[in-house]
Structure 1
Amino acid sequence: MNYADHVKRLTLAEKRLVKHINDHWTREQALAELKSHLQVAIEVELATIPIYLFTYYSINRTPTGFPDTSLSQFADRAGAAIMSVAVEEMLHMSLSSNVLFSLGQMPQMYLHSPGPYPTNLPGHTKLGPDAKPLALPLSKLSVEQLWHFLEIEYPAASDAPPEGGAWKTIGQIYSYVRCIICSVHIKDEDFHQGETLRQIQPTNYSPIILIRFIPNTVLINIKHHRRKTPLPMRRLI
């Protein structure tokens, strides 16, 4: 498949996997693996969303003294940052779903979220970056919960191999998907099997909706005084 020059170049590990796929896989195997691992990516993103949202809703973003005290400002910024990550996870899930749907397969979400939390992530190796069993909880904001966020977002090493299973970082599974797409078996026309209008559209992405539909000013109550104040975008997320 042809891909644009501005896309990040394949690493040596990715090139080796692409060559292996080209030499040893059939087209049918490549398509099946691509669809299967896009579904895994969807389930990974789906599993992370409740973790971020649970922590977000544990934060009072407008405590006593808002917005004048440093504590209230910190709470507001912390809440905004965590919600922005949750929205990004929704975007990643949507993009993976769109690609899978374009291949002619309906993304599956119902009954595909994790069972009880704490949970590992689908396809992740049993151990986290600290060599302890990965068990991501639903929990209020704390130093421990921030560490669990880091476990989710832990960056891959520059030479990390693509992994279809027993992966250590989310980047590795997307790298695996990328290698399949870059193989000779996947054609541009493969991504025209799903009806475009049934895919998630750019206007469904929250920041765009906010910019388009939320007025520039709103009435908010600060220190029991009502005044017309521009609403910063960070307060909308």
Structure 2
Amino acid sequence: MDLKNKAILITGGSAGIGLEAAKQFLEIGTKVIITGRSQDRLDAAKKRYPNLIAIKSDVANDEDAISLYRKVEQLGGIDILYNKAGVGMVSTNLGVPNDKHFESAAHEMKINYLAVIRLNNLFLEMLKSRREGAIIHTTSVLSYVPSLIEATYSASKTALAFYTKSLREHLRIANSDVKVFELLPPAVDTELIAHRTGKKISPEKLVQALIIGLIKDQYTIRAGDTKVVYILNRLFPKLAFRLVNPRKADKFLQ
């Protein structure tokens, strides 16, 4: 896929992986539009990278999504929709009744999964009209092996992973040229998992892997240790589970 002179919309692009993606796409000559819920963060991103177009928008809000589409349309449209916005909650012991389990799961599913479907539905015809349109979803290594301390987050990313594969196949059957990419990160050094210790990949290296995968039309992009976990889970699933869930996770849940 040729990324130069294309336009990309990155949801959740004001911080973390999204902001790093905005930076690297700008560097290769892509027009970048980012969204986020915090105007202060959007202003800071714009100050740091003046060529960015920043739009305040909450992916969980129906009206915001429609307004975002209209604003993007007025800006000339996009070639690539990168559904990056996401949230994650630390799971307390799911074996103990707690209303927070449901509230957290509903919040994660709304943003990590349902909001993606909404935006895809809004932008799909626009992407189909482009010479080379694409959709990018960030799922997770946890869609292969669930994390005990991020159980409902793992479930939301698994739902997104299955939807991604199905969407890709539906578009193929419909003879659409829109490409659907899935980026599967391992643990990434961002605010989202600041509570976790252990090995983490940097946002910079993750986005580098994403861009290489896009250029090569590699629809499933397993970055960093995700490749190892993927293979181990196929051959030695119990070992893969213990790798993702070390003994200290058991103590956390007690």
Same fold (TM over 0.5): no
> RCO higher in 1 or 2 (8 Å CA, sep ≥ 6)?
1
After TM superposition, the score normalised by the length of structure 1 is 0.28
Structure with the greater alpha carbon radius of gyration: 1
After TM superposition, the score normalised by the length of structure 2 is 0.27
Relative to total residues, which structure has the larger strand share, 1 or 2?
Answer: 2
